[in-house]
Amino acid sequence: MYRVAYLDHTARWSGGEVALFNLLTNLDQTVEPLVVLAEDGPLAERLREKGMDVRIIHLDEKVRNRNRNTINFQVFSSAIKTYLYGKAVGRVLREEKVVCVHTNSLKSAIYGAVAAKSAGIPLIWHIHDIIEAPYLRKIVAFFMKLLVKYLPDGVIANSNATMATLNLSQATSKKKTIAYPSYFGQIGRKNEPQLEDKDDRFIVLLVGRLADWKGQHILLEAAKSFAKRNVEFWIAGDALFEADAVYKQQLIQYIRENGLFNVKMLGHVNDISQLMSQADLLVHTSVIPEPFGQVIVEGMAVGLPVIASNAGGPREIVLNEETGLLIPPGKAERLIEAIQWMIEHPEERKEMGEKAMNRVKELFLIEHTVQKITSFYPQVISGRIKI
């Protein structure tokens, strides 16, 4: 058994943190995890419930919540605080005899590099973000692409789309791998409704953090075309950051101004799979390339056909016209056409859902991810310990 430290700057319950939770709670006996978070929160609470060793080393809130695309004079003070924080984490890693650092976010990648260097142990960057504009500001993407060539000993990307943006194809000596954030849960619907319990409503579900790049406004545009039909649009998710809160209010105002009584804003939902079991269709409306698309996998696992943006990670998840439909991002008219097709083709829709479940079983179960990552550790550690 060897000890790996997992670093994340946030304890919010978001995509990358859900992926980390699923990984940590399904590791085999060869790895003893130490989780170091820069704040307390839902991720820490859930990990503690699973008996995980979680340490909270608080990072200055202004640094922790700083928008990664913001470039101003405060960047210098933030850099100093980040360096000192990394040194503090490094001291803990030495005391705990950790043999490898696994970072789970871009901010933790930076201070994780300081911590790993301070502790004299190898560093793995787990990248969950598209490292290019418009997902990141150009100057930020440039520096991350530069740093990834020199700081980490190994790189894990959550999709081929993410890995491609790192420009590591020429870095033949750099250890790297693709590990999809996989599904851990029941395959199939939780409570299959009886025929007599079903009504004529057609429920279209969108799940994800409320943010302009996630494209909930595209779904609202589409919803206008179905306002006089028995089609409901459910939006699950809430705002996480200040800019997201502004966007949330814009969505609410749009719904009111357009009289979209067929739209339900559900807020944060704990049991997503239960919610998905009530839906007929899952949609994904990101207007820029998504690094992966964990919620798409979750929907496919319960047998939902998916309409997704044809960019980034979703292209690796959804097989067009087999497990769902891929459409150009940001095009409400194409989303309307795709939803209409799904409504008019119930048999094909059902077949897509069945194929979607099979695809999850083949590629996206948590066992695949655990095996991929745990077999990557010894490659990076390179004989420093006996496994």
pTM of the model: 0.89
Asked if CATH classification 3.40.190.10 holds for the domain at 195-363, the reply, yes or no, is no
**pLDDT digits 0-9 by tens, 7-27:** 999 999 888 898 999 999 999
What does each C-alpha distance from 70 to 63, 129, 288, 291, 327 come to in angstroms?
11, 16, 19, 21, 31
pLDDT score recorded for residue 259: 95
The pairing of strands 263-267 and 281-283 is unpaired
pLDDT score recorded for residue 43: 97
- Token pair, residue 355, equals 């194929």
pLDDT score recorded for residue 2: 85
Low-confidence residues in the chain, pLDDT < 70: 68-73, 170-172, 191-199, 383-387
Going 6 to 11 to 16 to 19, the CA torsion angle's sign is positive
What value, to the nearest 5°, has the Cα angle with vertex 14 and ends 10 and 28? 85
CATH 3.40.50.2000 in the chain: give the residue spans.
2-182+366-381, 195-363
Tell me which fold the domain 2-182+366-381 belongs to.
Answer: Rossmann fold (3.40.50)
User: Which of 283, 288, 297 minimizes the C-alpha distance to 237?
Assistant: 283
**pLDDT digits 0-9 by tens, 207-218:** 999 999 999 999
Residues sharing a CB contact under 8 Å with residue 262, sequence separation 6 or more, in sequence order: 223, 226, 227, 229, 231, 232, 233
Amino acid at 141: A
Write out the H or E segment, with its range, that includes residue 334: helix 332-344
Distance of alpha carbon 258 from its chain centroid, rounded?
Answer: 31
Strands (E), 168-327: 175-178, 202-207, 231-236, 263-267, 281-283, 306-309, 324-327
